[in-house]
Chains A and B, each alone.
Chain A
């Protein structure tokens, strides 16, 4: 189980590693990016939708 339980030991972590080690930042980004790209953008399009003109 070493792989599952031990961690890389070595020099102090760089910026990328610090980001990877911050679950709270990842949580915020993981909510904000899809919500903006998919949900908010989609809802804006829905709000701006004009009623279809019936033939």
Chain B
């Protein structure tokens, strides 16, 4: 039974799903704020990348820190979290055939978030917040900087509460039967992780804000850095795990939309999300692996033993998403050999290519480097080198950001009901972004292996020069990818051809779209098709082999640090 208020709902002409008009407004507002943050964050990113490129040294040392602060916050916090809130409003309403619980709360949340982001950005640009995104004491910023962060976090918490209220009223009004859909389950996982993140955020940023006003701790420089870092990373790292849960949910959604795929096993995928909820946040301890205040037991338990349960979850998703695509493709007749399905996949559909490239970069790049760097012993040769940004650009930029871009190629036609212009360029965009990002991340990892530190414009490290050049060139290509995405999206939203009253034009030919729709709307179970995901198993074996080589090479590099005769 649907629970929409009169005149507050429309039916999507493509999917037939009911869309709550209030929710639609906030999906749009948050998505716009996200794309603006992405654009300004990318401008800062290219500035930083060109500064790290030794022969270019684009900006002065102080400007580098200012711009890096701006980049980190706009990319990692504002772009990603605004987009996540848009996803929560979509998952909590349309996918549950339910209405937005409270438009008033949604307004309050959005205003606090947008106001907070604006305050932070202005303070940084005024030169009153050169503290990098982590704002470790004794570095101190203007109170407006901390106030802006607190405001953004409170706004986010309000939006997340609104999402939980949506889940509550959908359940109460029985707008769906049985369990919530998998994509919504993924969104719930993201929202739970968000609550934990924001509680830690409040626990550290509110006292820091007060300290900046001279209340409580005395002043920001009086705060004990050890305790600050401990609690701050309870905010900093889980915020990245919101991304992981959200982009995995987006992978499932895009796999369905672009190929008609259906998860191999609903319950296994759900258990994997629960493993994220329970264990992924312990990974915060990675950031403290060289901190003297916490014991080796605490470090090893949190980063290795318990965390591996969350790694297992990523591996489950990393298998089930491509495997479900493989089964759907085979079912549609692309059943030749090991990789016939992959060759025939809709590579010209930016929703699909973004999803698959995101999965590949996240798993083969971000995942393998992350597990390796998170190993207590190996971390000692990598901590605070450029290997760390190399790793996380493959997770948050190559993984999350690319998945969110892929989602936009469907959200704009479905929610704004406008078509993208210059479709050929849009089809190319995920490849450009993925190529540039891979070059940049490889440059960072390799320069870091030579010992180049992160968070400094200074270099001169022997052997790192060519890799820093690769970082710079890769940065230019990645920036081009972002620019194409932002420009085409803005043009689509404001001037795109309207598709109101009919289905979206779509990114695949008619025949393909019909066969996808047939799978999406029919009742079939992948496990009952008799088809096997052999190609995905081969890809998994390749992944395991690559992981073993990389892991071994790192232990070898650690052993090379000392000489035993």
Contact = CB atoms under 8 A, between A and B. Distances in A.
Given A3-B181, A6-B181, A21-B179, A42 B298 contact: yes
B179 A37 contact: no
A17 B301 CA distance: 29
Interface string B267-284: 100110010011101101
Please provide the 8 A-B residue pairs with the shortest distance between their CB atoms, ordered closest to farther.
A7-B178, A34-B281, A30-B277, A30-B192, A3-B256, A1-B15, A42-B230, A20-B270
Contact of B95 (A4, A35, A41): A4
Contacts of B262: 2-3
A45 interface: yes
Nearest to B188: A23
Given A20-B267, A34-B196, A46 B230 contact: yes
A54 interface: no
B300 to A, nearest CB: 12
Interface in A11-55: 13, 16-17, 19-21, 23, 26-27, 29-31, 33-35, 37-39, 41-43, 45-46, 49
Which interface residue of A4, A19, A37, A41 has the most chain B CB atoms within 10 A?
A4
B60 interface: no
A21 to B, nearest CB: 5
Given A8-B266, A9-B178, A37 B227 contact: no
B179 A43 contact: no
A45 B196 contact: no
Given A30-B195, A46-B226, A46-B230, A16 B267 contact: yes
B233 to A, nearest CB: 8
Interface residues of B, number: 62
B177 interface: yes
B427 interface: no
Interface of B: 15-17, 95, 97, 164, 167, 176-185, 188-189, 192-193, 195-196, 199-200, 226-227, 230-231, 234, 238, 252-253, 256-257, 261-263, 266-267, 270-271, 274, 277-279, 281-282, 284-285, 288, 293-295, 298, 301-302, 306, 520-523
A3 B17 CA distance: 12
Contacts of A20: 179, 185, 267, 270-271, 274
B522 A2 contact: yes
Contacts of A21: 179-180
18 contacts: A4-B181, A4-B182, A4-B184, A8-B179, A16-B271, A20-B274, A23-B164, A23-B192, A26-B192, A27-B195, A30-B196, A30-B278, A34-B234, A42-B230, A43-B230, A45-B293, A45-B294, A46-B230
Contact size range, A: 20 to 34
A23 B270 CA distance: 12
A6 B278 CA distance: 26
B260 to A, nearest CB: 8
Given A1-B17, A35-B196, A45 B295 contact: yes
Given A9-B177, A30-B278, A37 B192 contact: no
Given A1-B17, A30-B196, A8 B178 contact: yes
A4 B253 contact: yes
Contact of A29 (B270, B278, B284): B278
A27 to B, nearest CB: 5
A34 B557 CA distance: 32
A4 B189 CA distance: 16
A20 B277 CA distance: 11
Contact of A31 (B195, B263, B302): B195
A5 B181 contact: yes
Contacts of A8: 178-179, 266
Contacts of B293: 45-46, 49
Nearest to B281: A34
B192 A38 contact: no
A7 B178 CA distance: 6
A26 B178 contact: no
A1 B230 contact: no
A4 to B, nearest CB: 5
Contact of B282 (A5, A9, A38): A38
B393 to A, nearest CB: 25
B301 A37 contact: yes
A29 B274 CA distance: 10
Contact of A5 (B95, B192, B302): B95
A33 to B, nearest CB: 5
B278 A5 contact: no
